[in-house]
Amino acid sequence: MKIKEYKELVDYTMKRKKSDLVLKNANVLMLQTSEIIKADVAIKGKYIVGVGEYNGDIEIDCSDKFLAPGFVDSHLHFESTMANPNELVHYASMNGTTAFIADPHEAANVSGLRGIEYILEQTRFSTGDVFIMLPSCVPSKDSEDTGYIMNSDDMKKIIDNSRILGLGEVMDCKAVLDCKDSMMEKLELFEDKPKDGHVLGLNDLELSAYAMSGILTDHECSSYDEAIKKIRNGMYIHIREGSAAKNLKNIVEGIVSNDMDISRFNFCTDDKHIEDIQREGHISYNIRKSIELGMKAIDAYKIASYNPSLCYGLSDIGMIAPGKKANLVILNNLEKVEIVDVLFEGNIISKNYKQTTNNRKIEDKKIKNNKLENDKINSSNHINSDDLHRENIKKSANISEIIDDKFDDLMDTIHIGEFNKSMLAFKSENYAIELVDGELLTKKIKASSGKGHLNKVVDIERHHNTGKYHVAKVFGFAIKNGAIASSVSHDSHNVIVIGDNDRDIMIAIEKLKEIKGGYVLVENGSVYQFVPLPVMGLMSNLSSEEVNIRISDMTKKAHEMGVNENIEAFITLSFIALPVIPEIRITTNGLYDVIEDKYLD
């Protein structure tokens, strides 16, 4: 807190003035001391000004409620959710997450600094604090065909933005270990700021060297033993549970069975779609599941709030104490994480989401009443004071208007010239990709040893119309009489298609070009359904409800068409070209062996 703010607020802490709002007689989670105390929490403006006994202009009886600090998602990619970032923040914040540490490397791989500026602009007035970790690996590998190459000079242009928190996940481990100049420049630029990691396939010595560079976190652990090894090297571990990767059970069971200290663990989602947030929660789900697995409730809440605030140096959140932001979660039940309401900067978040334009303004309604009337609390115990709601109340707009003229260029990013059926012959004859049930991992196999229905996977460069592409064999996807295409293809986000016949593959490609990016499902020569993602080929201009309906329909249909029931069709499609996850990936340059760090063609 700045001294100017302190001078304005100290009279409220000292009870010389009445606070705007007091949450009375609450069971307050004091995560900094691992205890729960009975106390009032006094709020003035966006800050907590006191914990103890206080009176306020509005007082809410919370004698049967718990108060927790707002939760933190320690690592996520807005672009991977397909939704407008502001909309995703709304639904996540309704579930208690009031701080988001985002790595926009998907947007940067397509549109560079323009993509990052878009994320910043879209979340400027969101119902949560959105911080940005500047992408460290754009592209993820030097040979990748991306829309942009980001170097340290680019980073210097934006690093002074107050919402730039640190350096995003460092996926190019080899560049760190080899002291590659471009990587050293980035690490040095962020020498005094947090740096996120992405560690896969390193031996003990390599891991030690990687951590010694100052990289602070990792979110790629799938086992407890792997997590502890990294913590012993001084790192924080983000326990990940999202729509795609789900590592929480293995790690939390290890923490519980070994009675391990939890101070170096945080929660993250990485990628979690709005329909999953609406169904099961956000970081709230991670807390609930951890408690169900035997973790102490207070520890689960510390991992959700207190630990990440320390990890990232966010001194004004993460605990309930004077001078901290009034980002609070009001709960009926601690273990079940039954949320009554969520406050962001002292205002209860409205359940009613209104999409607004980039030029919107948010005005926090002032508290007018001297007391909270009885009819402000309904039968479900939801605190519903209109005087406390933070709402987007200016310049409401259609969902299709989320891009203003300032970002028109982000709506035209699919640049593929002539591509015809004659180009769909296999370029890789010796090796093939085999998918692993329930995992994003793949196996490198001899093409002749593949089992099950053979599919063709095509990767086409779409940023600069270079004409580069590759075609290979894939087993374990198993779509029959059709094809699926996507412009979401981590991390380079070229066009990726899987199908079992050339006609349907071509139809899928042409439809994808027509809608300027998205997902397309083709069956027997006809487009069955599509989801347009025209914002950088990554995010939709449809409402999340419409996107969810179409994705659900397409997923069901894909499985009816033979797609392996043990994989998620569109998530699998979007990760099959990511050359930092073992064992083998397709790229525009050929099949790539991640373990041996070489191309196979």
- Please identify, among 315, 343, 375, the residue that sits at the C-terminal boundary of a domain: 315
Amino acid letter at 245?
Answer: A
Is pTM, for the whole model, over 0.95? no
Question: Same domain for 335 and 303?
Answer: no
Question: Same domain for 271 and 139?
Answer: yes
Residue 177 above 50 pLDDT? yes
Query: DSSP readout, 235-273?
Result: -EEEEEBSSS-B-HHHHHHHHHHTT---TTEEEE-BS--
Which domain, by its residues, includes 147?
71-315
Q: Which H, E and C letters describe 352-372, residue by residue?
A: CCCCECCCCCCEECCCCCCCC
pLDDT in tens, 316-326: 999 999 999 99
Question: Same domain for 435 and 583?
Answer: yes
Residue 225 above 90 pLDDT? yes
- Please identify, among 327, 353, 379, the residue that sits at the C-terminal boundary of a domain: 353
Q: What is the pLDDT of residue 1?
A: 87
Neighbours of 3 (CB within 10 A): 7
* Percent of the chain at pLDDT exceeding 90: 84
Structure confidence at residue 256 as a pLDDT band (50, 70, 90): very high
For the residues 547-561, what does the mean pLDDT come to? 95
Domain for residue 231, yes or no?
A: yes
Question: Same domain for 77 and 47?
Answer: no
- Please identify, among 261, 296, 315, the residue that sits at the C-terminal boundary of a domain: 315
Query: Which of 65, 69, 85, 74 has the alpha carbon at shortest distance from 24?
Result: 65
CA–CA distance, 373 with 380 (Å, rounded to integer): 16
Domain for residue 409, yes or no?
A: no
Find all residues with CB under 8 Å of 4, minimum gap 6, and list them: none
Q: What is the pLDDT of residue 405?
A: 76
Q: What is the pLDDT of residue 411?
A: 95
pLDDT in tens, 506-517: 999 999 999 999
pLDDT in tens, 48-93: 999 999 999 999 999 999 999 999 999 999 998 888 999 999 999 9
CATH number for the domain spanning 171: value is 3.20.20.140
Query: Which range scores top for mean pLDDT: 134-143, 339-348, 572-581?
Result: 339-348
Question: Same domain for 324 and 457?
Answer: no
Tokens linked to 102:
């985002």
Q: What is the pLDDT of residue 275?
A: 87
Q: What is the pLDDT of residue 380?
A: 36
Four-point Cα dihedral 60, 61, 67, 69, nearest 10:
10
Q: What is the pLDDT of residue 201?
A: 86
- Could you give phi then psi for residue 538, rounded to 5 degrees? -125, -35
Domain for residue 396, yes or no?
A: no
Question: Same domain for 214 and 76?
Answer: yes
Q: What is the pLDDT of residue 136?
A: 97
Neighbours of 383 (CB within 10 A): 20
Question: Same domain for 456 and 480?
Answer: yes
Residue 314 above 50 pLDDT? yes
Residue 372 above 70 pLDDT? no
pLDDT in tens, 385-411: 343 443 332 222 233 345 567 899 999
Domain for residue 392, yes or no?
A: no
Q: What is the pLDDT of residue 403?
A: 53
Q: What is the pLDDT of residue 352?
A: 83
Q: What is the pLDDT of residue 80?
A: 84
pLDDT in tens, 468-527: 999 999 999 999 999 999 999 998 999 999 999 999 999 999 999 999 999 999 999 999
Q: Are 391 and 354 in contact (CB under 8 A)?
A: yes
Domain for residue 590, yes or no?
A: yes
Question: Same domain for 20 and 137?
Answer: no
Question: Same domain for 155 and 36?
Answer: no
CATH number for the domain spanning 347: value is 2.30.40.10
Question: Same domain for 523 and 565?
Answer: yes
Amino acid letter at 183?
Answer: M
CA–CA distance, 539 with 261 (Å, rounded to integer): 39
Residue 147 or 365, more confident: 147
Domain tally, the chain = 3
Q: Are 166 and 195 in contact (CB under 8 A)?
A: yes
CA–CA distance, 457 with 436 (Å, rounded to integer): 16
Domain for residue 384, yes or no?
A: no
Residue 532 above 90 pLDDT? yes
Domain for residue 527, yes or no?
A: yes
For the residues 191-210, what does the mean pLDDT come to? 96
Q: What is the pLDDT of residue 368?
A: 33
Residue 133 above 90 pLDDT? yes
Q: What is the pLDDT of residue 404?
A: 60
Question: Same domain for 86 and 48?
Answer: no
Mean pLDDT, rounded, of the chain: 91
* Percent of the chain at pLDDT exceeding 70: 92
Tokens linked to 525:
């020569």
Question: Same domain for 322 and 311?
Answer: no
Domain for residue 204, yes or no?
A: yes
Q: What is the pLDDT of residue 243?
A: 85
Q: Is 473 helix (H, G, I), strand (E, B) or coil?
A: strand
Helical residues (DSSP H) of 194-326, grouped into ranges: 204-212, 224-232, 248-257, 274-280, 283-292, 297-301, 307-311
Q: What is the pLDDT of residue 140?
A: 87
